Homo-oligomer: A and B are copies of this chain.
Amino acid sequence: MVFSVTILGSSAALPTSQRFSTSQLLQAGERSYLIDCAEGTQIQFRRFHLPFGNLKAIFISHLHGDHVFGLPGLLSSLNLLDRKEPLDIFGPAPLEEWINGHLKFFAPLSYPLHIHCATCTDMTAIYEDKRITVGCFPLQHRIPTWGYLFREKERPANIRKDMIRLYGIPLREIPAIKAGADYRMPDGKIIPNHLLAFPPVQPRSYAYCSDTVYLERLPAMLRNVHLLYHEATFANDQKLRSAETFHSTAEEAATIAKAANAGKLIIGHFSTRYDNLRPLLQEAQAIFKNTEAAEDGKTFEVKQPSRPTSDHPA
């Protein structure tokens, strides 16, 4: 089952012709989840051939234009496409007030829209479906801002049908084998569980941290996360400007990734002053080698580990 993040926008406040502002699509199996929704998000769906129909929920980090100005267009296009399935949107207040204030000027939507603006002072579970769970956690920016931790649900062991047939095991025994039991043959011989079932799938995880100052408390919350996105609006040459605007440098993003023992780091939300991202990437990689730069249209897939235990059991 795929578990991947596609970058729909990687620029900071000002979009460029190459980089739209922030938005990402998380895909978990056949389902997709939008994270932030900058202007042009629906156009990026078209451009990168991503389907609208699989979208289950939208997670908004904060109410700055470069993270939400694509919502009116996306919600409206889902209406034109005659969506019927309810859509959930999560994010800090006053997201609900802004969306509802906007919607009353336009045609009613063809689908129920549920906007959730709970408070978030620590890691808080806010969403769950059959594929994933989502927690939000507070970041520190100029206005209330949330990060999100997406985690696949653990799935039971997969039965090896060939072995079940080979040993003639009756169907009623399957649930116990899925739960890890060995099987006793009629002659008393024990068939160990690992011959009868593939091990349970290890849940993969993705953490999204944008926009924020460097936060020392993040790594403990995101320990062993497989894939980490952390904003890196600036390089160290703009450390003062970064602090003034409540953003992070590439070095700070990498420091978080290292301390969290992340599998991989994606940096993004780049200031338009950086035509060339090499300095940001070098700065980050000096601290955390497995760093890549976000790029519109690029997909980062977290592969299913082949064994039940992993270096990064988030």
Contact = CB atoms under 8 A, between A and B. Distances in A.
A80 B65 CA distance: 11
Question: How many monomers of this chain does the complex have?
Answer: 2
A65 B76 contact: yes
A69 B80 contact: no
A47 B64 CA distance: 23
A42 B19 CA distance: 12
Contacts of A66: 76
Given A14-B77, A39-B42, A63 B20 contact: no
Contacts of A43: 15, 17, 20, 39-40
A15 B42 CA distance: 8
B94 A98 contact: no
B15 A65 contact: no
Contacts of A81: 14
Nearest to A21: B73
Interface stretch (A99-107, A133-141, A230-238, A284-292): A99-107
A184 to B, nearest CB: 59
Most B C-beta atoms less than 10 A away, residue of A15, A72, A105: A105
Interface string A21-59: 000000000000000000110110011000000000000
